Amino acid sequence: MTMTKWALITGGAKRIGKAIAIRLHQSGYNIALHYNSAQRDAQTLAAQLNQQRTGSCRLFQANLASEQEIKTLVEAVNCELTLSVLINNASVFHPDPEIANWQDSQHLLTTNLIAPYLLAQRLAPNLASQSGCIINLVDIHGDRPLKGHGLYSISKAGLNMATRALAQELSPAVRVNGISPGAILWPSGSETDTVTKVINEIPMKRAGTPEDIAYTVDFILNSPYLNGQIIAIDGGRSATGYTGADG
């Protein structure tokens, strides 16, 4: 009898996380769908997936900026599921002027860096039983900073290193890789001139789609000797050079 494969996707209710959830579900995985505040979106997606395959999606709510809620999420998943995959997708994106105080800075750093690292460490024994895989969603600005988003860029640079460190610490029982998206989805309120400038820097001359990231997740999961690598999905932007500091 084939054991059901479960994939935990943080921030899985919308945008890139949703595309990953749909793709992995199509590939036969059951989905442990984490969300923070997007309850309605999470419930809608879960209903859609469960209609296709009964009992194939379960919801887990947690604020990943909270130490206690990270602990509670880990305990719930370890108690209820045998994991094959962890996708650390949840992230917050704020420009520096919107980070007004220490609490705001800790919220960003914890959500983008500390939470993925702790989830990987604490779920590793569970994943190891399935020769599991962890995939961290990083950012090309973890290599070259985005102007006006210094702390965000720092958090992703840290996740970049965390991915490599975890690949060393958790192998051979668990593989750890990362995906660095380029221009996939524009932040709300993006100015047309900024969008045009970024597009002009991309050899493919267009933005990518959430599905491009989901395809890469599928590729990593089906590449059993791929470990400790971070794949840029950016239309060639980082390979040919980009201004970085100008976004």
List, in sequence order, every residue forming a beta bridge with 35; answer none if it has no partner: 61
With bands split at pLDDT 50, 70 and 90, how would you rate the model's confidence at 13?
A: very high
- Give the end-to-end CA distance of the chain in Å, rounded to a whole number: 50
Decide if pLDDT at 83 tops 60. Answer: yes
Q: Are 153 and 91 in contact (CB under 8 A)?
A: no
Check whether 66 has a pLDDT greater than 70: yes
The reply to whether the predicted model has a pTM over 0.85 is yes
Beta strands in the chain (DSSP E): 6-9, 30-35, 57-61, 83-88, 133-137, 175-181, 230-233
Q: Please compute the mean of the pLDDT values over residues 19-45 and round it to a whole number.
A: 97
How high is the pLDDT of residue 246?
A: 54
Confidence of residue 244 (pLDDT cuts 50, 70, 90): low
Which of 3-7, 95-99, 239-243 shows the lowest per-residue confidence on average (mean pLDDT)? 239-243
List the single range of 11-15, 124-128, 193-197, 199-203 with lowest mean pLDDT. Answer: 193-197
Residue 57 has pLDDT above 60, yes or no: yes
What band does 1 get if pLDDT is binned at 50, 70 and 90?
Answer: very low
For CA atoms 20, 21, 23, 28, the dihedral sign is: positive
Q: 3-class DSSP state for residue 128?
A: helix
Euclidean distance between CA atoms 102 and 138, whole angstroms: 23
